[in-house]
Amino acid sequence: MGDVMVILGAGATYDCLEQERADRFGVARPPLAAQLFDERSDFVEVLRRVPQALSIVQRMRRLAPLGGGVEEALNRVVQRAEETRDPMYLQDVLALRFYLREIIIGSTAPISAATAGATNYLDLVTRLHDYSLDSGSRVTFVTFNYDNLLESAIANRFSYRFSNTDSYINAPIAIFKPHGSVDWVDAIPLSKNVPSRSPYMHVASVKSAEHLDTTRKSAVLMYDEAKLGSGWEPPEVIAPAIAIPITSKDAFLLPDGHERDLAQRMVEVDTLLIIGWRASEAAFKELARTNLRSAGYQDIRAFVVDKADSRISAGVETIRNFSPHLSSGNTATSELGFSGFLDDGRSHPRLSEWGRFIEHVRRSR
């Protein structure tokens, strides 16, 4: 029996709390990609703290409705910055990382506080732990979300502490975050003879954007709050380790050694549980192509959890984008979203969605 890999996308964090509970606690759901630049009062407050991001945020508000969505609009801006190397465009893109970190923390922290950590993530971690004990399978998380709700769930369930980047892959259930995390920083080398004058994780570092040396590998490290305000000035620019959400997403933003470990784990996986992920990440798909059940794609059994929308049935886009690892022959789908997937009482007249997942995996072995 092989291992289980759970892949989480934006739909999982958006639906980390049932709507009824969110309303009862008076908290808003975290934003999806299309909502990252909404004129919410809390987002406006972030812009007051990160004014360098105002220009790109305003541009996204105007470009996204023109067609193609936020990711396509961001793709055009990032591409222009890379092609022209214009200082202002480069500063826009770097400032966006600070903006995204602040709004993600601001959107998810109230949920953790209001519920004392009792989110769908905690329920999922508990069930997967039980499944691992019963089946002997190792479980691995891959999340493309920046927030730390999953880390909080594992910390609560196992009394575990995420103290450094290695603690993510050594956790009771390992977590890989290919697009970075609000709890990580990216130490980006500067060009030769360009000193850093910006303190640790300060938005003033945005002014150094044109001097970043992208030919040298940056280091992804754990965020160290003790260094804030200490006056320490590193030889690199220290920015949030958050990948800009563009359409191509053709690179990882992972700590040293994580990609290698992720590839090794993929070889042993025969079960995929995918929640709220549409499979648009080129680098991850390439890693899966060369490592995921290399003995034969037919060995994979998958369950895709999403919600149908006006464009397409739930799961169809994920299955199409993650071919050949997913196909109609080896993949079952649920259209009830993350909350419905975990709802044992109302989600299905005879069998819960979680029960359907377990039955699908067992029946196919």
Contact call for residues 361 and 354 (beta carbons, < 8 A):
no
pLDDT of residue 76: 86
- Of the candidates 226, 281, 276, 225, the residue with the CA atom closest to the CA atom of residue 251: 281
pLDDT of residue 295: 45
For the chain, give the longest Cα–Cα distance. Answer: 68
Contact call for residues 74 and 243 (beta carbons, < 8 A):
no
Here the tokens at position 93 are: 């893109």
Here the tokens at position 110 are: 């109230």
Q: Which CATH architecture has domain 3-16+119-179+254-363?
A: 3-Layer(aba) Sandwich (3.40)
Domain limits, the chain: 3-16+119-179+254-363, 21-116, 184-242
Spatial neighbors of 190 by CB under 8 A, at least 6 apart, are 196, 208, 211, 212, 213, 235, 236, 237
Strands 139-143 and 301-305, sheet pairing = unpaired
Run of H or E residues at 337: helix 337-341
- Of the candidates 99, 87, 94, 89, the residue with the CA atom closest to the CA atom of residue 51: 99
Cis status of the peptide bond prior to 31, with omega within 30 of 0 = no
pLDDT by residue for the chain (365 residues), tens digit each?
Answer: 689 999 999 999 999 999 999 999 999 999 988 889 999 999 999 999 999 999 999 988 887 666 567 888 888 888 899 899 999 999 999 999 999 999 999 999 999 999 999 999 999 999 999 999 999 999 999 999 999 999 999 999 999 999 999 999 999 999 999 999 999 999 999 887 777 777 889 998 999 999 998 888 889 999 998 888 787 888 889 999 999 887 666 679 999 999 999 999 999 999 999 999 988 888 999 999 889 875 444 578 999 999 866 555 667 888 888 888 887 778 999 988 999 999 987 555 557 999 999 988 887 66
Check residue 31 and report its DSSP letter: P
pLDDT of residue 75: 86
Looking at the DSSP bridge assignments, the partners of residue 221 are 185
pLDDT of residue 324: 82
pLDDT of residue 235: 84
- Based on the number of CB atoms within 10 Å of its own CB, is 247 exposed (0-12), middle (13-18) or buried (19 or more)? middle
How far is residue 283's CA from residue 7's CA, in Å, rounded to a whole number?
A: 14
Amino acid at 40: R
pLDDT of residue 312: 58
What are the DSSP E strand ranges found in the chain? 3-8, 139-143, 174-176, 180-189, 219-222, 236-242, 269-275, 301-305, 331-334
pLDDT per residue as tens digits for the range 103-133: 999 999 999 999 999 999 999 999 999 999 9
pLDDT of residue 247: 64
